[in-house]
Amino acid sequence: MKDQANKAVQDLDQTLKDAKKIDSLSSDAQNKLVSGMKEFASVAGDVVKHMAEKQPESDKGDGYRSLMETSNKATALFFNELQNSLANKIPQETVQELSGQLQGLQDGLNKAI
């Protein structure tokens, strides 16, 4: 799970770097970007749920907190980029769907921390 979370954060970072270089998106690029965003939200959500529900309280030390805080920062960055940079490049329906997923993820992270 930790490896998946780290991979998702790396993918997110690369996606955001790539998106800033693009003025307009082809349909294929748009689909890949949206797919990557949804995958991030899904994987990160699964990690948060697993860690929060399955991790014994005694094991929720610095590593746990660090992972949750890193995921929370990545989610906030993703949400900010979605709202400010990508909102005009992808359909509003998709923006709203992803915003809801990211808000739910961030709520879960805040509870887990």
Residue 111 three-state SS: helix
Residue 21 lies in a domain: no
Residue 97 lies in a domain: yes
- Distance, C-alpha 36 to centroid of its chain: 9
Residue 19 lies in a domain: no
The per-type count for the chain, helices as H runs and strands as E runs, is 4, 0
Q: How many domains does the chain have?
A: 1
pTM over 0.75: no
- pLDDT tens, residue by residue, 17-68: 776 665 666 778 777 877 887 888 888 788 777 777 776 665 666 777 777 7
Residue 20 lies in a domain: no
- When the pLDDT of each residue in the chain is averaged and rounded to a whole number, the result is 76
Domain extent at residue 87: 2-13+27-112
Between 51 and 98, name the one with better pLDDT.
98
The closest alpha carbon to 5, from 68, 85, 89, belongs to 68
Average pLDDT over residues 3-20: 70
DSSP 38: H
Residue 52 lies in a domain: yes
pLDDT band for position 111 (cuts 50, 70, 90) = confident
Residue 77 lies in a domain: yes
- In this model, does residue 107 exceed pLDDT 60? yes
Q: Buried (b) or exposed (e) across 68-102, using 16+ Cβ within 10 A?
A: beebbebbeebbebbeeebbebbeeebbeebeebb
